[in-house]
Structure 1
């Protein structure tokens, strides 16, 4: 089972919908990459960004109200398609 299917299965089995979900990604500290990530993430009440100690990377966290496991997986996959981005 690939990672996408595992995440989908876990979310569908262990959560009641709708729910608040926390997306967390680490990316190179590049304005273009950060802008792409923020475009993909859902509009939420809380999105934060924190630089690493050396400023080379940035951690982006978004807490948003989600209506389905598929919605979460789709957003995660789209952000993961950006070069250099890691999901936490």
Structure 2
């Protein structure tokens, strides 16, 4: 993990530490409209997550929103880290 990425996760952890957990949290991602990549991203969530998919007008990209209950800042960061492993994904 490079320094910029470490700084991002440290900043996120600091912001999330001010929240009260458990917390209903919304994750947002953009990925190329590829079934395999969409499946990899949706599989980072458990069966209780409410997942919404929206394709771009031209169909080249898909936005993924997932609402789920998180128990700690560390749990949120783990999901972002897993999602970041998918090539071409943009974390929002």
Q: Same fold (TM over 0.5)?
A: yes
- In structure 1, which of residues 17, 23, 35 is the aligned counterpart of residue 27 of structure 2? 23
Matched, 1:7 2:7: no
If the length of structure 2 is used for normalisation, what is the TM-score? 0.89
Do the aligned residues in 2 keep the contact of 1:44 with 1:62 (CA within 8 Å)? no
Do the aligned residues in 2 keep the contact of 1:12 with 1:69 (CA within 8 Å)? yes
- In structure 1, which of residues 53, 57, 60 is the aligned counterpart of residue 61 of structure 2? 57
Matches within 5 A, 1:39-78: 39-78=43-82
1:3-25 Cα deviation digits (max 9, x unpaired): 01111111012x10111000000
Count matched residues: 87
Once superposed, what is the RMSD of the aligned Cα atoms?
1.2
Which segments of 5 or more consecutive residues in structure 2 lack a partner in the other structure?
A: 1-5
Deviation at residue 45 of structure 1 after TM alignment: 4.7
Which segments of 5 or more consecutive residues in structure 1 lack a partner in the other structure?
A: none
Deviation at residue 46 of structure 1 after TM alignment: 1.6
> Per the alignment, do residues 82 and 45 of structure 1 end up closer, same or farther by CA in structure 2, a change over 3 Å counting?
closer
